[in-house]
Every structure is written in structure tokens, then in C-alpha cells.
Amino acid sequence: MLLKKEVLEIFKNEKCHQFATVSIDGTPNICNVGAKYMRDDGKIVVIDNFMNKTLANIKENPEVAILIRREKESYQIKGTANYLTAGKEYDEAYKWMKSIGEKYPARGAIIITVHSVYNSITGPTAGDRVQ
């Protein structure tokens, strides 16, 4: 799914987003992600530099959410994650991360197929699906 222009703009231009996962037993985890980009096909790539609980949760339960925000605008993106440590998609992500800094290990690439986007601001439209 390609994101709407206003959602994509926030995703691309804000440095950090919150990335939520949940284990198979229901234990939630949330972390900040700044090493991320959007592919032309609409898939989100998040680089695993130091994600331990997040990785464990994705291996058990691939359903994830990303909260993106800019001032009073906010959206929740939901999708399914695939964790890669080899292959063309991983190589592309690794190269991208290393172009930003050699200090980042780029242990893996989390490829997220977006399924839905929801409004996440306070007010009467909170929780409404926008995509």
C-alpha cells in the first residue's frame, strides 16, 4: 500500500517514530526508530541496529505498528513485518545504513508490508481509518 501524501510526508521528514511489537504471550514492546525509509513499492524498511526485544517479538508475532507524528498531526501505520539478514532486500538496507554511518551494525532489515493507516490525533476522528 502506498501511503497518502500527508502521511508519507510525515514519515519521511520526521526523524524518529515509535515502533510497537507484541510477543506471542501478549507482552508489548515499543521503541524509537530513526533508521527507516520507504521503498518505492510502499513497504517500510526499518534497520535493526540494536533491537533485541523488538526482534524477539517479530519472530513470534509479525504484526507491528508505527506511530508517526508532527506537532498535532499523528497517524498509526499497521502492517506485517518480515525480518531479513541476507538477500537483495537486506543488502539494499545494509548499504543504505552504512551510507549514514559505519558505526551502525545493520544486523537486519525489517521489511513492513503496510495494511492500514489510522488517524491518531485527539478529537472526534481519533481512530478513524484513513487508508
d(CA 9, CA 25): 35
pLDDT score at 103:
96
Question: How confident is the model over 4-15, as a mean pLDDT?
Answer: 97
Task: Answer whether 0.85 is exceeded by the pTM.
Answer: yes
Q: How confident is the model at residue 109 (pLDDT cuts 50, 70, 90)?
A: very high
Domains of the chain with bracketed CATH: 5-119 (2.30.110.10)
Write down the mean pLDDT value for the chain: 97
Q: Strand, helix or coil at 115? A: strand
Q: Which residue has the cell 509479525?
A: 62
pLDDT score at 50:
94
Q: How confident is the model at residue 84 (pLDDT cuts 50, 70, 90)?
A: very high
DSSP states along 28-76: EEEEEE-SEEE-TTS-EEEEESS-SHHHHHHHH--EEEEEEEETTEEEE
Distance of CA 9 to the CA centre of its chain: 15
